Structure 1
Amino acid sequence: MNRLIFGAALIAALAAGAEARASVTVIGGGLAEACSKAAISGKTEARLERTCTESLEKEMLSNRDRAGTLVNRGILKMRRMNWEGAASDFTEAVRVKPDLGEAYANRGAVSIGMHRYAESLPDLNKGLALGVEAPAKVYFDRALAYEGLDDAKSAYFDYQKAVELSPDWEAPKTELARFHVERKE
């Protein structure tokens, strides 16, 4: 029963944090910038995915902007729980720009959404190692993964790190409130 409750809580946490996923800012006008703004905005409409697709098909993009647009489209897919489509976009972004931390971090989040907790950890760790704009969100996701693996101690420390990095963010504070910590002497 605890596993079912955690699973429902996990999906709720991912959905609630969907607007906070690690998007990639693309500037310079055009469809790629519109796709970037859609990912940042927290919107979920399918038409916004089509804007990203059109950008990828029609615009001349640098590798960074192409990978960023793939990440942003993946975020839009992830918000609609299209896990396979999002994973495909993040994997392609990694292929195009292997040093883009956001691509790994988001692919890790998709693995969590698919209840593949152990599979998420290498991607989340790689995203943190490469650097992301919002590491607190990656620590939060990694804490969710650790909880899915029944590693409460690691989850606790990652929720703490998320609070340390983003003290005004309520989600990790809420998760920490569930823990009871006892010190062994």
Structure 2
Amino acid sequence: MKMTFAKICAVGLIVGVGSPASAASTIIGNGLAETCSITARLGNRDRSAENVCTQALEARDLIQRDQAATLVNRGIMRLRNGDYSLATADFNSAIQIVPGLGEAYVNRGAVLIKLGQYEASLVDLNKGIELGVEEPAKAYFNRALAYEGLDNLRAAYFDYRRASEINPEWQEPKTQLVRFT
């Protein structure tokens, strides 16, 4: 059975190598929600970290933007743990609360990459890029994975290159670009 590079990368998310990148949402100044944000950025896979996000949401003292961002951050943790339906539900809820939250679309696109649904992932990734995200290099990297999953190597190359230009210190896009030379 032939496995495309993007599918291999998507599988790599669980082991932490060559995986779609998650774009966390920053929250400052609200105890549990802020801890959830930091934990998502650090790549924590611990279920107790996910529970912190749930506690922040259950406290019901978050403004809409922070509630949506906390859903995105919890969704990222669920994505990393392979809980794709729960992650998708969190990203969908975030989009319902704040339709302009690019990170929700980028991360839902990452789930779709993991599921091998590359066309659908492109729709979400393009929307996330259009709306703007805190870490655009990750959005372009994920879009490159989706293009590669569709065997559009030219588009994949340009998005890996764009990700590398946006964040020259991030090694993963450079590693992927080496394969094209």
Normalising by the residue count of structure 1, what TM-score does the alignment of the two structures yield? Answer: 0.90
Q: Give the CA deviation at 1:13.
A: 5.8
Which of structures 1 and 2 has the bigger CA Rg?
A: 1
The Cα RMSD (Å) is 1.9
Q: Does 1:10 align with 2:27?
A: no
Q: Does 1:52 align with 2:53?
A: yes
Mapped to 1, the partners of 2:18 and 2:61 lie a distance apart of 31
Q: Per-residue displacement from partner, 1:115-167 (whole Å, max 9, x unpaired)?
A: 11111011100110110011111110000001111111111111111111111
Normalising by the residue count of structure 2, what TM-score does the alignment of the two structures yield? Answer: 0.92
Q: Give the CA deviation at 1:59.
A: 3.1
8 A contact 2:40–2:73 mirrored in 1 = yes
Query: Could you say what secondary structure the match of 1:10 adopts?
Result: helix
Amino acid at match of 1:96: I
Give me the identity figure in percent: 49
Q: Does 1:124 align with 2:111?
A: no
8 A contact 1:19–1:42 mirrored in 2 = no
Q: Give the CA deviation at 1:53.
A: 0.9
Question: Which residue matches 1:93?
Answer: 94
Question: Which residue matches 1:112?
Answer: 113
Question: Which residue matches 2:78?
Answer: 77
Q: Give the CA deviation at 1:22.
A: 1.0
Amino acid at match of 2:8: A
Runs of 4+ in 1 over 6 A off after TM superposition: none
Between the two structures, name the one with larger relative contact order (CA 8 Å, sep ≥ 6): 2
Q: Give the CA deviation at 1:58.
A: 1.6
8 A contact 1:112–1:144 mirrored in 2 = yes
Work out the number of aligned pairs and report it: 180
Mapped to 1, the partners of 2:174 and 2:90 lie a distance apart of 31
Q: Per-residue displacement from partner, 1:36-86 (whole Å, max 9, x unpaired)?
A: 111112111001111111111123111100000000100111111111111
